Chain A
Amino acid sequence: MPDWKPEILRRLAPLKLTPAREAEIAEEIAQHLEDRYQELLATGQSEDAAFRTVIDELKGEDFLARSLRPVERDLYREPVALGKGSSTFFSGVLQDIRHALRMLRKSPGFTAIAVLTLALGIGANTAIFSVVNGVLLNPLPYPQPNQLVEVAELNPPFHEGSISYPNFLDWVQQNHTFQSLAGYRQNDFSLTGVGEPQRVKVGQVSASFFPILDVKPVAGRNFTATEDKRGAAPTVMLSEALWKTKFGGSRDIVGKMITLDGTGYTVVGVVPSNFYFCCASTNFHLDDVYTPIGQWRQDFFTNVKLTGASSR
């Protein structure tokens, strides 16, 4: 009696079925072939002829696998072993996803709890990361950034409004909460008398501004409280970039006069180029010069913004 199973297993091999499924199909088809073989022998065929006829009815080496492939494709697939590549990796993933979705649909209670847990987990992680990112990964580029706050006036509909300069002075005088308060605003002046006239950006800051942010001038000094008052002699600090491009980076610049909007200002210091005021809409690292805000005579009631209030 011929052994039909090797013939069948060889034809099933490309399907990569599980051993159990492969054995089941082989057993069933082998019985069929044996029945057919016996039937042909009964009609008087020789064993060789009967064997050839039966094998011919398998229709070649690949017909059986091709016919079975669409049927067996999603069932009885040999699981992919870890570390072993598979050409059907993504189809397996899709199958897993479909299976997972079916299971979730069957258990709505479990699904709701799982989704809620995930949502809370993601939310908590996001909140914690925001803190870690701000405090540990990207802290403010100043010493003791955890002690710096931005102060604003709540003046509906503005949630973060600037305040008038007289109010700022009152806040500074009546402050019992912070070590120090600083105000700032931006302006534009015309710089003349040094080569071609140039429009420069001006950071008008209170005398406390640079000390709060611990900015050390690369030349000269910061503004004094005396200079930050109406009627004081006009003084100015240059940005390091302007100092180098317009004045050649000369240290003699301190104490010299420059002309802004037709008024003579005495240079008292140079702000380092690495100074970056990161936390407001004002972008101070582009500012070309700085002047004490208290000297600003044109509009005493102009609004200022507050920052760098370091806590007690």
Chain B
Amino acid sequence: MENATSQTEWKRGSAELLILSLVEARPRHGYEISKIIEQRSGGTVRFHVASLYPMLYRLERRGWLQGRWVEKGGQRRRRYYRVTRLGRRVLASQLRGWREFVAGINRITEAENA
């Protein structure tokens, strides 16, 4: 129970960073984003549909992402999200903060467990 609560809080804090990271290299649609997060985290981080899309729309509204309907040959059209210039700046800032935070945590825990 306690573990589940912690995960929820971590997800909430890192969701923007994860999504921006995944669309930085190339545009992706919502399902693809959720699958990559689940796979790369080994199933420990998952975004269900009811929380993923509100998050995507929020980032889009802030101007960090831009969504666009794309129709590829023979497939249903899908909405792809790409990071905007503003989104890249936010991502860089969040990554820097995240790395400093993790490094700080590591220094604390390593010192205690050494």
Query: In the complex, are the beta carbons of B50 and A63 less than 8 A apart?
Result: yes
B30 at the interface (CB under 8 A from A): yes
Q: Is A214 an interface residue (CB 8 A)?
A: no
* Smallest CB separation, B55 vs chain A (Å): 8
In the bound complex, CA of A67 to CA of B51 (Å)? 7
Minimal Cβ-Cβ distance residue in B for A75: B61
- Check if A25 sits within 8 Å of B53, measured CB to CB: yes
Residue A59 interfacial (CB < 8 Å): yes
Additional A-B contact list (18), CB under 8 Å, known A33-B49, A59-B51:
A25-B53, A28-B30, A28-B53, A28-B78, A29-B49, A29-B53, A31-B76, A31-B78, A32-B30, A32-B49, A36-B49, A57-B49, A59-B48, A59-B50, A63-B51, A67-B54, A68-B53, A72-B57
Q: Which residues from B are CB-within-8-Å of A59?
A: 48, 50-51
Do most interface residues of chain A lie in helix, strand or loop, or is the interface mixed? helix
By size class, the interface of chain A is: 10 to 19
Q: Mark A44-76, 1 if CB is under 8 A from B, else 0.
A: 000000000000011100011001101110010
The docked-state distance in angstroms from the alpha carbon of A100 to that of B43 is 49
A-B contact count (CB 8 A): 47
A59 to B46, CA, bound (A): 14
Considering the chains assembled together, what is the distance between the CA atoms of A72 and B60 in angstroms?
Answer: 11
A80 to B76, CA, bound (A): 34
Using A71-B58, A72-B57, A75-B61 as known contacts, say yes or no to A32 and B50 having CB atoms under 8 A apart. Answer: no
- Are A68 and B49 in contact (CB-based, < 8 A)? no
Interface size, chain B (Cβ < 8 Å): 17
Check if B79 is an interface residue, CB within 8 A of chain A.
Answer: yes
Chain A residues with CB under 8 A of B34: 32
Residues on A facing B (Cβ under 8 Å): 25, 28-29, 31-33, 35-36, 57-59, 63-64, 67-68, 70-72, 75
Inside 8 A of B30's CB, which chain A residues have their CB? 28, 32
User: Of residues 24 to 67 in B, which have CB atoms within 8 Å of A's CB atoms?
Assistant: 29-31, 34, 48-54, 57-58, 61
B92 to chain A, nearest CB (A): 24
Q: How far is the CB of A70 from chain B (nearest CB, A)?
A: 8
**Contact between A32 and B57 (Cβ–Cβ < 8 Å)?**
no
- What are 15 A-B contacts defined by CB distance under 8 Å? A25-B53, A28-B30, A31-B31, A31-B78, A32-B31, A33-B49, A58-B49, A59-B48, A63-B50, A67-B50, A67-B51, A67-B54, A71-B54, A71-B57, A72-B57
Distance in Å: Cβ of A56 to nearest Cβ of chain B: 9
Q: How far is B51's CA from A64's CA once the two chains are assembled, in angstroms?
A: 7
Residues of A within 8 Å of B79, CB to CB, are 28
